[in-house]
Amino acid sequence: MVMQADAVIVGNGPTGRLAYRALRDLGLDAVVVAPAPNPGPDPRTTALLPVSVAALDRLGVDVRPAATPLPELTIQTTGPLGLVSERFSAADVDSAYLALNVPIGDLAALLPLSDTVEAATCGIDYAGGRPTVITETGERIGARLVIAADGIASPTREAAQIRMHRHPLGLSAYCAPVTLESAHGGLCIERYDDVGSVTVIPVGERSGSLISIGTTPAVERLASRQATDIAAAIAGRQPAYGSLKLTGAAAVFPLSIGWATSPARRRVVAVGEAAHTVPPIGAQGWNMAVRDVMALHGVLSETVRVGGDIGSASVLGRYVRNRRTDLVGRISAVGLLAGVATNPIAPVQLARQIGLGALSRLPGLKRGLMRAGLG
Ligand SMILES: Cc1cc2nc3c(=O)[nH]c(=O)nc-3n(C[C@H](O)[C@H](O)[C@H](O)COP(=O)(O)OP(=O)(O)OC[C@H]3O[C@@H](n4cnc5c(N)ncnc54)[C@H](O)[C@@H]3O)c2cc1C
């Protein structure tokens, strides 16, 4: 028997959950199909830019009780000029914070699901012209619209033959929850050195989410060491917080960059990491997913209002055109930053030190860059 819904959302990560919230907000009957969430802790946190916090507010999701405000960011780079450092403050762009940092598990809890089929999908059947999502356990769910929010490998995107251009960067991110000897005072510090990067994103008063990016072999070597050795190695590269202690399970994420230039086809639209992936630099990853969902919400809201077909080619075409410019700009900028920021060769180190140092002499440019990153 085939279950019917207005829309099927494949994936129960933060993007699938937000899409569910957005569709329910429009009064649409949406079903989320995904295997039960992994019970283990996820060390990632999500720094939500002010524009995303406002978008979530519009959907009735208030992240503030679960969030640590980040009013200041310091970017440091080591190299031929010694240590060059530049501070970015929310006050420079008339904002209360640069981002609100939310543990990814808390984000999921803020976006509960009530209509779910707990199974992995294994394909789409187009018999009859409309998509029917098929699960590994044999359920079939037909809908006018399928939202692929099933992550970087996205079997749903692949089943709909939506092309994703993705390039592995040869880099990985080591991520772990930490406690700090010295309070961070809301200051997030990103340091780029001759190994890669070390960033501690504040959580609570004296904790943080540590992210260290480097070549994949270097990150794997780091991850294979004892927790105390890892903490000492990181504190040696970033002494600002005194000693560090790893407080939970760490994870390694291989990094790639890419996007689906045309993320909709045959009533399927890919959003979040199913449609684009960037390294965790500049906190753009899930913030782009929030923009995807809000753009889809806008297009569908208009369609629902006039009683149109939410999965039609013209509706999804509007969505694709709406997202294109923003995605090209952000993915190119993060790609450029990833190349410059994590490259250890001396001429590149020097160039990034000069570039970073120049920002303090060009406050207009600095504010412009901040507004572009946050906006
Ligand atoms: C170290 C690190 C730090 C980060 N920090 C930030 C940050 O500060 N700010 C920011 O904006 N972004 C950040 N990001 C990026 C952010 O974490 C991702 O963009 C986000 O988690 C992507 O969510 P998603 O729901 O699109 O994909 P996922 O979280 O990958 O979820 C996909 C879901 O699909 C499900 N699924 C997979 N296959 C199937 C199938 N066949 N059938 C059904 N379901 C399926 C999976 O079970 C999963 O739940 C960071 C990333 C990393 C690695």
DSSP 182-217: S--TTEEEEEE-SS-EEEEEEETTTEEEEEEEEEHH
The set of residues, in sequence order, having a beta carbon less than 8 Å from that of 249 and lying 6+ positions away, is 40, 41, 43, 176
pLDDT at 339: 65
For residues 289 and 273, the answer to whether their CB atoms sit within 8 Å is: yes
Among 15, 70, 281, name the best residue to mutate to test ligand 1's pocket (greatest count of ligand atoms within 8 A of Cβ): 15
CA of 19 to the centre of ligand 1 (A): 13
* 253-to-169, 231, 233 alpha-carbon distances in Å: 12, 18, 19
Among 21, 46, 48, name the best residue to mutate to test ligand 1's pocket (greatest count of ligand atoms within 8 A of Cβ): 46
2-39+113-165+262-338: CATH number = 3.50.50.60
Among 44, 122, 277, name the best residue to mutate to test ligand 1's pocket (greatest count of ligand atoms within 8 A of Cβ): 44
Q: Flag whether pLDDT at 78 surpasses 90.
A: no
CA of 150 to the centre of ligand 1 (A): 8
For residues 263 and 146, the answer to whether their CB atoms sit within 8 Å is: no
299-322: pLDDT as tens digits: 999 999 999 999 999 999 999 999
For residues 338 and 171, the answer to whether their CB atoms sit within 8 Å is: yes
For residues 343 and 177, the answer to whether their CB atoms sit within 8 Å is: no
Q: Flag whether pLDDT at 158 surpasses 90.
A: yes
pLDDT at 231: 96
How much is the average pLDDT of 136-160?
97
pLDDT at 358: 67
> What is the spatial distance between Cα 9 and Cα 289, in angstroms, rounded to a whole number?
14
DSSP letter assigned to residue 147: E
Q: Which residue ranges have their beta carbon within 6 Å of ligand 1?
A: 10-16, 33-35, 44, 46-47, 120-121, 149-151, 155, 173, 175, 211, 253, 272-273, 280, 283, 285-287, 289
CA of 13 to the centre of ligand 1 (A): 6
88-132: pLDDT as tens digits: 888 888 899 999 999 999 999 999 999 999 999 999 999 988 999
Q: First and final CA of the chain: distance in angstroms?
A: 46
* Mean pLDDT, all residues of the chain: 91
Confidence band (pLDDT; 50, 70, 90) for 284?
confident
pTM, whole model, 2 decimals? 0.93
* 175-to-42, 172, 186, 231, 257 alpha-carbon distances in Å: 9, 10, 19, 12, 18
How much is the average pLDDT of 338-349?
68
Where along the chain do its domains lie? Answer: 2-39+113-165+262-338, 64-103+167-254+346-374
Burial class (CB in 10 A: 0-12, 13-18, 19+), 91: exposed
The set of residues, in sequence order, having a beta carbon less than 8 Å from that of 153 and lying 6+ positions away, is none
For residues 373 and 50, the answer to whether their CB atoms sit within 8 Å is: no
For residues 309 and 299, the answer to whether their CB atoms sit within 8 Å is: no
CA of 273 to the centre of ligand 1 (A): 6
User: Left, alpha or beta for 361 (phi > 0: left; psi -120 to 50: alpha)?
Assistant: alpha
Helices (H), the chain: 14-25, 50-58, 104-110, 155-159, 216-223, 227-237, 285-305, 313-341, 346-361, 363-374
pLDDT at 333: 74
> What is the spatial distance between Cα 261 and Cα 117, in angstroms, rounded to a whole number?
30
Q: Flag whether pLDDT at 356 surpasses 80.
A: no
Residue recorded with tokens 């001429």: 347
Q: What is the CA radius of gyration of the chain?
A: 21
pLDDT at 15: 98
The class that CATH gives domain 64-103+167-254+346-374 is alpha beta
23-64: pLDDT as tens digits: 999 999 999 999 998 878 899 999 999 999 999 999 999 999
